[in-house]
Every structure is written in C-alpha cells, then in structure tokens.
Amino acid sequence: MQKYGTIYTVRGDTMSNDKWTLELSEYIKQGEPEKKEKAKTWETAIGLQDVDGLKPSEYLLDTAKEHIEGNISIDEAKKRINNYYEQSNERKKEENTEEADKVSVRITEILSEKAFNFSPTEMLSIHKRLFTGIYDDAGKYRNYNFIKKEWILNDDTVTYSSYETLKDTIEYDFNQEKEFSYKDLSLDESIKHLCRFVSNIWQVHPFCEGNTRTTAVFLIKYLRTFGFNVKTQVFADNAWYFRNALVRANYKNYEKNVFEDISFLEKFFDNLLTNTKYELKNRYMHIDYKEHIEAINSNVNHQSLEEQAILNIIKANSSIKQDEIATRINKSVRTVKKYMSEMQKKGLIERKNGKRDGEWIIKGK
C-alpha cells in the first residue's frame, strides 16, 4: 500500500533575526581570522533554520559567542545545548527553539570539519548527524510519497521522486556528476552545471524532513572541494530563497504556461560564488509575479549568466573577437552578437575605435 502525505509551505519574504545577525556580524567586522571564520559558520548554520521558519534561542546565541571567543570547544557547545533542553521547562517548549538550536550547532560542527566524501552515503551521514533525536528517521531514506503545497506555486507541488526508486535515482545523479568533467569550462558554465546537479538531487527529496538543510550543508562542503571561496553569508541571508529557487527549478505546469526555471537558482549561485549581487526576493519566484522581469531589466547590475560570462571574458581581453567569445561560451556567433547588442543597449558595454582594431569597454568600471 502506498504511503502518501501532504505538507504545506506558505511563507513569503521573511525578515532575518536582527539580533543574532547583528551580534555575529560584529565578529566578522573585527577581522580576527579565527573568530571571523567561526562567526561566518555560525551565521550560516543559524540562517539555514529559516528554511523551516525556525529561530534560535538567546541561549544558543550566548553559546555561539563563547565558542567564537575560544572559551569552549564545539563539543562543549553541543553538550551545553543538549543539557539545556534536557531540563524540563515550559518556557522552552513554548519558544519552540530546540530544533533550531540543536541543528545549528551540528551544522557548525560539520562545516568546521575538512573531511568530505562525495557520495549518497555522505548525504545520509549528514542528515543523521543533523537530525538524530529530532526526527525518528534521521539518516534513513523516506519510505512513503508526499506532496508539498508551495505558496509560490499557488498551493501546487513539485513532483518528487517515488520512494520506491529514490535510492537508484540519487545514485544515478551522483554517478553522473562523478563522471562529469569541469575541465575547460568557464566559471559560468560550471555554475550552470552545479545548479542542475543540486536541483536534481533536491528533487529526489530522499528524506522525510530536513532535505533542504541537508542539501545546503552537503553543497557547501562539495563546493569547497573546487577551491571556491563560498560566501556563506548568502546562505545565512537567503536560505528561504534557496529553497524556493529549488522549487521553481523543478516545477512545470503546461496548462498554466509555467516551466522549470533554474535562473533563480543560478542567481543565488552567482551571489554565492562570484562578486555579483543579484536582488534575491522570494516574491519574484511566485508563478503569478510578472513585475520582476521589468525590475530586473531596469537594473544594469542584473545580468544573465551569458551576459556575465561575456563581461568576464572582456575583462580578461578587451580586444577579443565575437567569434572567439562564441567559442568560449559555446554559443553561435549570431547569438553572441545578439547578446552584445542588447548589452550595449543596456549600457553594460560599448565599442571603442571601430570594428577591426577596436576594443570592448565595460561601462561603469
């Protein structure tokens, strides 16, 4: 007999917890390397709880600061949090902070470790470490199907993998990624591929709960193996956006003329891994929200990945020819000319000194 469930997600743009953000950011601003890195990790760990609308307690913030200051180890921080919730207290139950606190300190521990193994087993291990004692099925694949009604989809759902095939599906996705070569790819091409990989493994939704937080922790550790300087504050500030971007990357409804759209996830990755600063707004991803197209087009700081790739190439070689650019980004010359014509209209670039011996200038630089 098939098991089936429905889960509701009905949140829109959310406000971050100003107190913990402000207090942890002070350590980041101070610039002491060890404290700065610890604060960034805590900031990410706590920010990721927003995926499920969870907020930390004051006690967790105090514990985090003690760890950042070097007064206690991460093991001692974990013990403090566990002991705190072992004490029966009605106020703690009312605050509903236990999951946020315990998972935050565990994420901090995992992200502080260098060890990593690219495999489904690693994802299972991360899930188990994050949610043991919180979910009964921590570290286990789900054994039932479900739907999640999403506010950005007008209460429709992404179609997730069947529980009967999810193990084979996720192993296939991992094997495909292992066999893929990033050699000779541009940064933008690499980001596009990484987005698709992450989107695919999230769509499998291997666990009953905690999929997005597990995916995020796994992703950060995987990106570090590439040598990326992951801007973890992007996760801290935009965890809910990250989840909604994964939703849009995996949803299609032909009757409503809505198709899988990975562009939102690509913008998140661009901010995460490059110096771009796209405006990441959850409401832009709602299937009925059209105004964001005009908002994006009106701001020259919002470029498509193809445009950003062209800008990066021009930055390295201002005299490069359009046919060379076409080869670099794997597009036709005609398509590149169209892109660059549009970029000139937007005021992103201009041509100096003619077609033959001229050069491309990035405006506003």
Domain with 311 in it: what CATH number? 1.10.10.10
Please indicate, yes or no, whether residues 69 and 171 belong to a single structural domain of this protein. Answer: yes
Q: Does residue 155 sit in the same domain as residue 80?
A: yes
Please compute the mean of the pLDDT values over residues 58-72 and round it to a whole number: 94
Residue 15's pLDDT is: 36
- pLDDT tens digits, residue range 243-274? 999 999 999 999 888 999 999 999 999 999 99
Last residue of a domain, one of 297, 327, 350: 297
- pLDDT at res. 300: 40
Is the per-residue pLDDT at 298 higher than 70?
Answer: no
Same domain, 326 and 181: no
| Average pLDDT of the segment spanning 220-243 | 92
**302-324 mean pLDDT:** 80
Residue 264 and residue 248: Cα distance in Å, rounded? 8
The CATH number covering residue 44 comes to 1.10.3290.10
Are 112 and 170 within one domain?
yes
Of residues 68 and 348, which shows the higher confidence score? 68
102: its two tokens: 């315990």
Is the CB of residue 176 less than 8 Å from the CB of residue 182? Answer: no
Alpha helices of 132-210 — where are they, by DSSP H?
A: 166-179, 187-204
Q: In this model, does residue 16 exceed pLDDT 80?
A: no
Crossing angle (nearest 10°) for helices 58-68 and 18-30: 10
308 pLDDT more than 80: no
Judge if 259 and 314 occupy the same domain.
no
Together in a domain, 36 and 89: yes
Confidence tier at 10 by pLDDT (50, 70, 90): very low
Residue 334 has what pLDDT?
Answer: 84
Same domain, 69 and 153: yes
Alpha-carbon distance values, 238 to 42, 44, 48, 223, 274 (Å): 15, 10, 8, 18, 16
Using a 10 angstrom Cβ sphere, with 0-12 exposed, 13-18 middle and 19 or more buried, the burial of residue 75 is: exposed
Q: Is 351 helix (H, G, I), strand (E, B) or coil?
A: strand
Which of 297, 328, 345 finishes a domain? 297
Query: What secondary structure does DSSP assign to 271-306, as a single string?
Result: HHHSS------GGGGSTT--HHHHHHHT-TT---HH
Domain count, the chain: 2
The number of beta carbons lying within 10 Å of the beta carbon of residue 213 is 27
Q: Is the pLDDT of residue 299 over 90?
A: no
Distance CA 260, CA 262 (A): 6
Whether residues 91 and 123 share a domain: the answer is: yes
What does the block give as tokens for 318?
Answer: 């201002």
Q: What is the pLDDT of residue 78?
A: 97
Question: What's the confidence (pLDDT) of residue 18?
Answer: 56
CA dist., res. 220 & res. 7, Å (int): 27
Whether residue 203 sits in one domain with residue 172: yes
Q: Are residues 314 and 206 in the same domain?
A: no
* pLDDT of amino acid 350: 87
Estimate the share of the chain in helix, then strand, then coil, as percent rounded to the nearest 5: 60, 5, 35
pLDDT at 22 over 70: no
The whole-number average pLDDT for the span 300-323 is 77
55 closest CA partner among 109, 88, 111, 99: 99
> Which helix (DSSP H) or strand (DSSP E) does residue 83 occupy?
helix 74-86
What is the tens place of the pLDDT at every residue in 163-207? 999 999 999 999 999 999 999 899 999 999 999 999 999 999 999
pLDDT-based confidence at residue 295 (cuts at 50, 70, 90): very low
Residues 137 and 239 placed together within one structural domain of the fold: yes
Which one is predicted more confidently, 150 or 95? 150
Query: Do 97 and 228 sit in the same domain of this protein?
Result: yes
Q: What is the pTM of this model?
A: 0.76
- Which residue is associated with the tokens 């032909």? 254
Amino acid at 153: L
DSSP annotation of 331: -
Task: Round to whole Å and give the CA distance between 283 and 12.
Answer: 7
User: Maximum CA pair distance of the chain?
Assistant: 78
Which tokens sit at 256?
């409503």
21: containing domain: 4-297
Within a 13 Å sphere around the CA of 222, how many CA atoms are in the beta-carbon half?
A: 20
Note the pLDDT tens digit of each residue in 314-342: 887 888 888 888 887 777 888 888 888 88
